[in-house]
């Protein structure tokens, strides 16, 4: 029986897992073992047995390291005792608070707690309140909770703010030394209406390649804020920027990577002021190929701050009011549109994967609650900027790769063998006549997307294609970008909000000066990301849990001294993991807001579309509201549903009714769990494509005027069918099995209802005391 050291991953149901430092295994910890440990502790366990599924079960031997960061939760006063119920359910235990350690907080308030006594097999953990955040319904409380729950650094250290305060208010003469003056070039920024930091400015003009006198190409200039001029290695600004690794975006609030003086001031390419930039100057052919490029530091003066909406209106009508207002810029915007169309042509011939998905934007009221959720409309203005940024990122990757200099690449590898097999089976089950090979290419994915875009189940097919792909990561081992169909790709265009971009700028500057950039990571920065599987920089296979494996192709790696290799690998893991952390925190806040939004709509009915099918139920997105919730499998009616993994759908064994992605349904909002960030639906009326063929009422029973059929009626019909089959002497054995499955389904449904009622009563009890 082996001993394993790893990190505890708690579960809201009381049990947990140990994610091993070495390898890719997890060991189950039963609730009894979890009493003495907490989520995110590092422990040593011994594998003592294997369960029926062959999973190892562990016995806690030693607490290697206790989690030290504060825990966020709500302060309760029950039975004369003070306690804090953690916001993160994975902690599993309430924390007892002595009466003198509440810091004056009132029952029901959200507080931050430090442990003073660790839990044991016989005692709960004890702590003290170190910060009172406020009431649960206070505006912006969901963000205050999220940044602490996910340990997002949200306050700059005093020395960082002091260093930022010493920076000049504007570009000085000494800063311009050795830079090309592009202040007369009409570069413009194009961003969303709510943007406050401007990383990039663009300009385009016709150009000639070869001996042609007539323009046959375009000169595309992408100017990026030169953050590396102000944020130097080893300084406090750099240390905090590395620790954060990325800005975190919430509705109505941003947690920036850099102090506001830099992110919204000195580095931001604001209009009509001089700014330092790193420029990627490109020649693009009529076919969209990058003919030549060069990088150089420059001084620019943005001629206008444009929005996507404004540029889309100008491109749509060059004689409209928007175009009249920006008359001197219209020709340059038309040139940008022309180079975009050329780049789009190259994208198509390259076989890059391009799915049309619906992104949404949360619009909040003055109290920070959701007023409405609206779809983000992607226009040619969005795509134009996207293609310009992609071109600059590709040039930076090519420049660094040709110099054989280490850097962080943005790597996106193809499907894993498991996901590839699942996708192949799914496509085969659909009978499309299209498939993927053993080594899939982006072109194959794009061909399937194009061939199916007009089908009724197009959304389902495109969703499966997307889910089969791996997540992109930062790594020094270049293995290409599968989705964009690039052999090499870096992030160069957003150094204000992403640390990998800042590193790429430093590398390019070093290469322009005929030198090398020696990466030295900031000292005393321990990653606060809880899903790191082993110590950062631990050599080969030093992965973060939940992140794809780093590429291992020999040709993708550059031979470096071990210390330098470890530094770049550590930076890649750290930035990738913190990117995931930022995404999780943002999703948590959005889920909170959506739960608050739907809590006022309990009992209301909506039409919706199935967005995912699982073995335990259906996820449904509501029409117009863009809110997703779950219909548990026990709410689908009184028959047994089997999950078809190949087709990604639930199918009723008796009726044959099928629910897959894209199925139209009508639901009622039945439950909102704010603590768990979950919304539950009840099926009200099935869509036409999901209605069973044999839905005729028996023995004179009629459907209600709305056409709805209750689960009890469906169950009675199925039992009647069983009796008929038995009387006819056909399939008695299988009918018996069906009855057994129906009974089990009905029992599970009843049990779930009782459990939900119990939880509701418990919530009512605790709510009355808060």
The tally of CA atoms less than 13 A away on the side-chain side of residue 757 is: 6
When mean pLDDT is compared across 17-31, 33-47, 246-260, 538-552, the lowest value belongs to 538-552
Cα 71 to Cα 111: distance, rounded to the nearest angstrom = 8
What's the pLDDT band for 240 if we cut at 50, 70, 90?
Answer: very high
Structure tokens at 507: 């590398």
Mean pLDDT of 40-54: 88
Strands 274-285 and 126-134: unpaired
- Phi-psi label, residue 205: left if phi above 0, alpha if psi -120 to 50, beta otherwise: beta
Work out whether the CA dihedral 361, 365, 368, 369 comes out positive or negative. Answer: negative
Q: What are the backbone angles phi and psi of residue 670, rounded to the nearest 5°?
A: -105, -25
- Which residues, 6 or more positions from 572, have their beta carbon under 8 angstroms from its beta carbon? 408, 473, 474, 475, 476, 550
Tokens of 677: 């960030």
Question: What would the 3-class secondary structure string for 464-486 be?
Answer: HHHHCCCCCEEECCCCCECCCCE
Q: 469 pLDDT exceeds 60?
A: yes
C-beta separation of 126 from 116 below 8 A: yes
* Longest distance between any two alpha carbons in the chain, whole Å: 98
Rg for the chain, CA atoms, rounded: 29
Residue among 549, 504, 281, 512 nearest 397 (CA): 504
Task: Give 438's Cβ-side CA count (13 Å radius).
Answer: 0
Question: CA angle at residue 99 from 96 to 103, to 5 degrees?
Answer: 95
Alpha-carbon separation of residue 299 from 187, 394, 758 (angstroms): 11, 23, 66
CB 531 within 8 A of CB 583: no
Q: Residue 25 and residue 54: Cα distance in Å, rounded?
A: 12
| CA pair distance 126, 215, nearest whole angstrom | 75
Neighbours of 374 (CB within 10 A): 12
Tens digit of each residue's pLDDT (9 = 90 or more) over 153-186: 999 999 999 999 999 999 999 999 999 999 999 9
Number of other residues whose CB lies within 10 A of the CB of residue 166: 7
Distance CA 306, CA 381 (A): 10
Question: What is the spatial distance between Cα 328 and Cα 316, in angstroms, rounded to a whole number?
Answer: 17
CB crowding 419-446: b at 16 or more within 10 Å, else e: bbebbbebbeebeeeeebeeebebebbb
pLDDT at 762 (0 to 100): 43
Is 672 buried (19+), middle (13-18) or exposed (0-12) by CB count in 10 A?
A: buried
Instruction: Render pLDDT for 252-303 as a digit per residue (tens, 0 to 9).
Output: 899 999 999 999 999 999 999 999 999 999 999 999 999 999 999 999 999 9
322-350 pLDDT per residue, tens = 999 999 999 999 999 999 999 999 998 89
CA distances from 115 to 67, 98, 126 (A): 9, 12, 6
- Least-confidence region, from 316-325, 632-641, 680-689: 680-689
DSSP state of 700: T
* Inter-residue contact 329 to 186 (CB < 8 Å): yes
């Amino acid at each position: 029986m082996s001993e394993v050291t790893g990190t505890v991953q708690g579960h809201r149901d009381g049990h947990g897992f140990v994610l091993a430092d070495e390898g890719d295994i997890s060991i189950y910890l039963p609730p009894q073992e979890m009493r003495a440990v907490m989520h995110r502790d590092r422990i040593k366990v011994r594998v003592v047995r294997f369960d029926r599924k062959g999973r190892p079960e562990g016995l806690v031997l030693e607490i290697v390291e206790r989690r030290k960061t504060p825990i966020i939760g709500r302060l309760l006063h029950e039975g004369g005792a003070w306690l804090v119920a953690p916001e993160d359910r994975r902690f599993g235990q309430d924390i007892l608070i002595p009466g003198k350690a509440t810091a004056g907080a009132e029952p029901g308030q959200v507080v931050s707690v430090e442990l003073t006594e660790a839990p044991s097999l016989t005692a709960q953990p004890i702590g003290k309140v170190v910060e009172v955040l406020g009431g649960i319904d206070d505006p912006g409380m969901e963000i205050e909770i999220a940044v602490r729950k996910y340990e997002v650094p949200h306050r700059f250290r005093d020395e960082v703010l002091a260093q930022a305060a010493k920076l000049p208010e504007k570009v000085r003469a000494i800063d311009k030394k050795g830079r090309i003056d592009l202040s007369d070039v009409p570069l413009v920024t194009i961003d969303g209406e709510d943007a406050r930091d401007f990383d990039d400015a663009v300009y385009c003009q016709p150009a000639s390649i070869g001996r042609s006198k007539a323009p046959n190409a375009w000169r595309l200039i992408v100017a990026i804020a030169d953050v590396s001029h102000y944020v130097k290695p080893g300084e406090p600004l750099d240390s905090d920027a590395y620790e954060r690794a990325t800005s975190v975006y919430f509705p109505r609030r941003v947690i920036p990577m850099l102090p506001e003086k830099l992110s919204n001031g000195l580095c931001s390419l604001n209009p009509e002021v001089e700014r330092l930039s790193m420029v990627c100057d490109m020649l693009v052919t009529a076919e969209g190929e990058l003919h030549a490029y060069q990088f150089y530091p420059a001084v620019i003066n943005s001629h206008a701050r444009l929005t996507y909406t404004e540029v889309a209106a100008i491109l749509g009508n060059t004689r409209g009011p928007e175009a009249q207002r920006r008359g001197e810029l219209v020709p340059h915007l038309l040139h940008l549109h022309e180079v975009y169309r050329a780049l789009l042509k190259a994208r198509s011939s390259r076989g890059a994967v391009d799915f049309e998905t619906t992104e949404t934007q949360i619009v909040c009221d003055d109290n920070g609650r959701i007023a409405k959720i609206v779809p983000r409309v992607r226009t040619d203005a969005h795509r134009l900027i996207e293609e310009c940024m992609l071109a600059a990122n590709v040039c930076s990757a090519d420049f660094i790769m040709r110099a054989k200099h280490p850097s962080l690449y943005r790597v996106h590898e193809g499907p894993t063998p498991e996901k590839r097999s699942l996708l192949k089976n799914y496509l085969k089950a659909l009978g499309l006549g299209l498939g993927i090979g053993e080594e899939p290419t982006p072109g194959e994915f794009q061909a399937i997307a194009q061939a199916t875009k007009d089908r009724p189940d197009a959304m389902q097919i495109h969703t499966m294609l997307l889910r089969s792909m791996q997540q992109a990561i930062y790594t020094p081992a270049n293995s290409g970008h599968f989705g964009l169909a690039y052999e090499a790709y870096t992030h160069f265009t957003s150094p204000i909000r992403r640390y990998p971009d800042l590193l790429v700028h430093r590398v390019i500057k070093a290469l322009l000066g005929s030198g090398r950039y020696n990466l030295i990571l900031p000292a005393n920065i321990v990653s606060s990301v809880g899903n790191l599987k082993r110590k950062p920089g631990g050599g080969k296979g030093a992965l973060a849990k939940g992140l794809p494996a780093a590429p291992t192709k020999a040709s993708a790696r550059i031979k470096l001294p071990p210390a330098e290799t470890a530094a770049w690998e550590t930076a890649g893991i750290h930035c990738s993991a913190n990117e995931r952390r930022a995404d999780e925190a943002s999703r948590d806040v959005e889920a909170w807001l959506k739960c608050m939004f739907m809590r006022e709509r309990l009992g209301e009915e909506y039409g919706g579309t199935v967005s995912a099918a699982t073995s335990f139920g259906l996820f449904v997105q509501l029409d117009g509201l863009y809110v997703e919730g779950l219909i548990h499998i026990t709410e689908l009616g009184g028959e047994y549903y089997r999950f078809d993994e190949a087709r990604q759908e639930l199918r009723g064994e008796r009726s044959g009714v099928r629910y897959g992605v894209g199925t139209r349904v009508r639901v009622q909002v039945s439950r909102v769990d704010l603590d768990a960030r979950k919304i539950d639906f009840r099926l009200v009326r099935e869509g036409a494509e999901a209605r069973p063929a044999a839905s005729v009422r028996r023995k004179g029973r009629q459907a209600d005027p709305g056409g709805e059929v209750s689960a009890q009626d469906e169950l009675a019909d199925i039992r009647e069918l069983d009796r008929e089959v038995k009387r006819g002497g056909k399939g008695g054995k299988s009918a018996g099995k069906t009855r057994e499955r129906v009974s089990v389904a009905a029992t599970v449904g009843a049990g779930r209802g009782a459990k939900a009622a119990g939880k509701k009563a418990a919530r009512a009890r605790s709510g009355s005391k808060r």
